[in-house]
Structure 1
Amino acid sequence: MSTTTIARQFNGPDHSGNGGYVAGLVAGPVAAGGGAVTSTLRVPPPLEVALDLSLDGSRSVLADGATVVAEAAPGAFDVDPAPFVGEDLARKGFEAYAGRVEHPFPHCFTCGTARAPGDGLLVFTGPVDDPTYPDTVAATWTPHAAFADTDGHLGSEVTWAAIDCPGGWAADIDETPMVLGRMTGEILSPVRADHEYVAVGTRRGVDGRKHHTGTALYALDGTLVARAEQTWIAIDISSFR
């Protein structure tokens, strides 16, 4: 067992952890074996609190005392990744990002418009202007060097965060506030700072309060770098502010 803390920088809603970042954090011990990992968030992850991270066989658990915050286990995909839409459509998507007009969590580490370069990721995915890709958002994105290790690679938690919020925007999070409930993710190759990528999110379907989405990160040549499938839960936003 180890102790870890979610720094305030890595928030989603103002007072709790970014879903993708926390999903990647708890997935870390399981992902060391390779393959996809499914992370489930049980409660809003607290910020600046010492949390226990433990591995029990193939299952990892992030806990705040007796409260399970999140857990992870080996996962699998049963659908194709969110589609590569190409650089041109992704650039247009970036310009059309709805979060610049209305944003439920403007300080979100991944997609918040109130964050500065090197403080937040600034992954701003907007609608893809092509009927070939319905219910899909995309953007070009260049990770800031502030998030890289000495080899120039992003940490896995940061990569998971980058492939988190595009799913929320594909599900119209500006119209229906929601938070991440479950995420199955896989990093296929390291993400490098100062390299440009295409981030994509696509809506899979809705089941009551649950919104199902897929996300992906591609190199500009269309090589798949990371992907995820997600379940988002619609919320009463007043309880997250």
Structure 2
Amino acid sequence: MSTTTFSIDDRFQGFPGYALGGITGGLMAQRIGPEAEVTLHQPIRTGDELEMRTRDSTVELLFDGDTVATAKSTTIDVEIADTVLPESAMEASESYVGFHEHPYPSCFTCGTERSDGEGLRIFPGPVGTEAIVAGPWTPHPNQADSDGTVPLEYVWAAVDCPSIWAVMEAAPSECPDHVVTGRLAVRSEEPIRETEPHVVMAWPLERRSNTWPAAAAIVDADGRVKAVARHTLVLTDWGVPLSVSRTDD
């Protein structure tokens, strides 16, 4: 068994004061491989001292002796819709609801208060009449390793919020539900490199009694798939309000 102690910096927050699920998942997935699933058992505060334990094919994340997240290898069976190219993604992003109503504008992935290079600044908007959202993403050099490759935790972060916005777009008007990340699974197919244009696209899957799954993909300028994700959102009475995204208002 190998053990590492670390904390997640506040700049990687999703909810204020709490680590973005994609960042947490990507850090754990580094010990699993290119196709992994992370289950978040409770919110993780930024700055808290965490212990990551790897035993056989399972990774555990602990805080104060309690398991707060687990990761394992998986197989992601997601059917990708027609890929969205950069020009269409830029047009869709102009209708990003977060520009005028954002529940967490400091979010590392989709927050409008983050400057270029400080956050990912992925702003997904609806693509036509389809149940798809998409936004352009050109990784900043600040978000790459010394060889220009984007680290796995940023790839996971990039698919986190767009899949939530896809569910928000699909939710009925005045929906009272909120969602939080229950599980996030990502398959990284090809390296993503700094300064190269990409599109992050996402779409809702069939809603269930207490969860609303969604899928996402990162594609390059030619539509080649770089990563695929399956995001299981848990319906709760707190978290991201689904009523924020209202394209018909």
TM-score of the aligned structures, taking structure 2 as reference length:
0.88
User: What residue number does 1:153 align with?
Assistant: 149
User: What residue number does 1:213 align with?
Assistant: 214
Q: Distance in 1 between matches of 2:32 and 2:17?
A: 27
User: What residue number does 1:128 align with?
Assistant: 127
Q: Distance in 1 between matches of 2:237 and 2:118?
A: 27
User: What residue number does 2:166 align with?
Assistant: 170
Q: Distance in 1 between matches of 2:239 and 2:183?
A: 22
- Give the deviation of 1:239 after TM superposition: 10
User: What residue number does 1:78 align with?
Assistant: 77
Whether the 8 Å contact between 2:178 and 2:240 is mirrored in structure 1 is no
Whether the 8 Å contact between 2:86 and 2:197 is mirrored in structure 1 is no
**Number of aligned pairs?**
234
Whether the 8 Å contact between 2:180 and 2:239 is mirrored in structure 1 is no
SS of alignment partner, residue 164 of structure 1 = helix
User: What residue number does 2:189 align with?
Assistant: 188
Render the CA deviation track for 1:64-96: whole Å, top value 9, x for unaligned.
022111111011122313541222321111111
Q: Does 1:14 align with 2:39?
A: no
Q: Structure 1, unaligned stretches of length 5 or more?
A: none
TM-score of the aligned structures, taking structure 1 as reference length:
0.91
The two structures, once aligned, show a CA RMSD in angstroms of 1.9
User: What residue number does 1:232 align with?
Assistant: 233
User: What residue number does 1:104 align with?
Assistant: 103
Whether the 8 Å contact between 1:167 and 1:203 is mirrored in structure 2 is yes
Are residues 239 and 149 of structure 1, via their aligned partners in 2, closer, same or farther at CA, if it must alter by over 3 Å?
A: closer
AA of the residue aligned to 2:149: H
SS of alignment partner, residue 29 of structure 1 = coil
Name the stretch that deviates more: 3-12 or 86-95.
86-95
Q: Distance in 2 between matches of 1:111 and 1:6?
A: 18
Q: Does 1:26 align with 2:22?
A: no
Percentage identity across paired residues of the two chains: 32
Are residues 114 and 93 of structure 1, via their aligned partners in 2, closer, same or farther at CA, if it must alter by over 3 Å?
A: same
- Give the deviation of 1:190 after TM superposition: 1.4
User: What residue number does 2:246 align with?
Assistant: none
Render the CA deviation track for 1:32-51: whole Å, top value 9, x for unaligned.
xx4x2111111001211111
Out of 135, 141, 156, the residue aligned to residue 139 of structure 1 is: 135
- Give the deviation of 1:238 after TM superposition: 7.4
SS of alignment partner, residue 205 of structure 2 = strand
Q: Structure 2, unaligned stretches of length 5 or more?
A: 242-249
SS of alignment partner, residue 206 of structure 1 = coil
Q: Distance in 2 between matches of 1:201 and 1:189?
A: 18
